[in-house]
Amino acid sequence: DTAVSQTPKYLVTQMGNDKSIKCEQNLGHDTMYWYKQDSKKFLKIMFSYNNKELIINETVPNRFSPKSPDKAHLNLHINSLELGDSAVYFCASSPGVAGVGIWTDTQYFGPGTRLTVL
Amino acid sequence: QKEVEQNSGPLSVPEGAIASLNCTYSDRVSQSFFWYRQYSGKSPELIMSIYSNGDKEDGRFTAQLNKASQYVSLLIRDSQPSDSATYLCAVNINTNAGKSTFGDGTTLTVKP
């Protein structure tokens, strides 16, 4: 059973196109995230949703629009793709609560989507 | 100053040695600390979490946290070639809108 899954695994497209990446988790977690990892391996959060509500929206161009139809799914739509959008995009989920008074953001990552913009 | 800083690396150790990975963070109210391992072409996976000052051991891995010095480290004893990977330190402040901030990662190579 795949805990966090993403589709597609690879995405090659031309500049200016619009594309979507889908993510699903079967862990029963309340919180889901999108991260971008660039060629230097730096992992940066883009968005976070908790129970379908947007709670973190980092400084990301508004060409990127996340959508969470339910707490198990978080999709990412990208309009007017640019060369600089080429990266690996990871979806992740976290349970939120580790114990009394302890909030944890242990991240469970999906396999990643390698986006190449030509 | 970066919020989370790690040894620039790459770090190379011989098989059987102790690998020491270091991480400092800037926000004093940080509460939760994580080490993730990422193999080339794969996604990060959690190997250790630590919340209190001191040491936490799990097999060959020991995480050390010193909140006064804003420092967290990961020791890997008896390093194996299979430990060769990039290690990411992550820190979060523990709010309802929890956000993990990641360091740039340290690439470890264990030579047979």
Q: Report yes or no: B9 at the A interface, CB cutoff 8 Å.
A: no
What's the confidence (pLDDT) of residue B29? 81
pLDDT tens digits, one per residue of A64-105: 999 999 989 999 999 999 999 999 999 999 886 555 555 567
pLDDT(A40) > 60: yes
What's the confidence (pLDDT) of residue A98? 52
Q: Report yes or no: B86 at the A interface, CB cutoff 8 Å.
A: yes
pLDDT tens digits, one per residue of A42-53: 899 999 888 888
Query: Which residues are within 8 A (CB) of A115 and not within 5 positions of it... i.e. 6 or more apart?
Result: A11, A13, A19, A21, A78, A81, A85, A86, A87, A88, A89
Convert A10-31 to b/e letters by CB count within 10 Å (16 or more is b): ebebeeeeebebbbbbeeebbb
A25 is written with which tokens?
């988790």
pLDDT tens digits, one per residue of B69-88: 999 999 999 999 999 999 99
- Residue A55 binned pLDDT confidence (cut-offs 50, 70, 90): confident
Lowest mean pLDDT among A94-98, A114-118, B3-7, B87-91: A94-98
Q: Report yes or no: B93 at the A interface, CB cutoff 8 Å.
A: no
What's the confidence (pLDDT) of residue A1? 65
Q: How many beta-carbon contacts under 8 Å exist across A and B?
A: 66
At which residue do the structure tokens 């302890």 appear?
A: A102
Q: Which residues of B touch A97 (CB under 8 A)?
A: none
Mutation for testing the A interface, residue in B100, B104, B106, B108 having most A CBs under 10 Å: B100
The chain-wide mean pLDDT, for chain A, equals 89
Instruction: Tell me the shortest Cα–Cα distance from B109 to chain A, in angstroms.
Output: 16
At which residue do the structure tokens 């190997």 appear?
A: B47
Q: Phi then psi for B55, rounded to 5 degrees? A: -110, 150
Specify the amino acid at residue B89.
C
A116 is written with which tokens?
């190449």
Gap between the Cα atoms of B105 and B50, Å rounded: 18
What's the confidence (pLDDT) of residue A97? 59
pLDDT tens digits, one per residue of B14-46: 999 999 999 999 888 878 899 999 999 999 999
What's the confidence (pLDDT) of residue A100? 52
Inter-chain CB proximity B94 and A102 less than 8 Å: yes
For residues A27-54, average pLDDT: 89
Q: Is B83 helix (H, G, I), strand (E, B) or coil?
A: helix
